[in-house]
Amino acid sequence: MKAATHCGWPVAVERLIGLARSHDLGDRIAAERHDLRESFPQGAFDLICAHYLHTPFDLDRATVLRAGAHALRPGGRLLVVDHGSTAPWSWNQDPDLRYPTPHEVAAGIGLDRASWRVERADAPRRRATGPDGRTAEVTDHVLLIRRTA
């Protein structure tokens, strides 16, 4: 198993390495740091997760997600969880901000339906707690794609 993080998050990689070692999994988990504009982890994967891969930096999300899908083994899954609503404590309160639906994200990745199948594309709601302790109902967008061939 490998973990990759954006180039600005070395602490996450260090923590993962420490946790793996503390659980005697150091030989089973490799942690790598990647600038996803430049490189993607090498290998074939059973699961690739992209949670809240939103950034103000120049990053072509569709290209990154497509690379992730192509790095899956047959039967492997790409899980994309995105914001579907703006929490009251978010730094960006732009009323015109629109979050793409899971189906729009899937279409933007542009995968051949003969080799990939959308298993889940929905917008569940949940109760979330912000950094100041306030709670609010938020919507997440969940997309799960399985490589079939």
Are the C-beta atoms of residues 41 and 71 closer than 8 Å to each other?
yes
Q: Interior CA angle at 6 toward 106 and 14, to 5°?
A: 130
Q: Which fold has domain 43-147?
A: Rossmann fold (3.40.50)
Confidence of residue 125 (pLDDT cuts 50, 70, 90): very high
Own/partner long-range contacts of 59-62 (Cβ < 8 Å, ≥24 apart): 61/108, 62/108, 62/109, 62/110
The radius of gyration of the chain from alpha carbons, rounded to an integer in Å, stands at 17
Task: Please state the domain extents for the chain.
Answer: 1-39, 43-147
Instruction: Tell me which of 129 and 10 has the higher pLDDT.
Output: 129
pTM over 0.85: no
Instruction: Look at 46-60, 77-91, 100-114, 115-129 and tell me which has the smallest mean pLDDT.
Output: 46-60
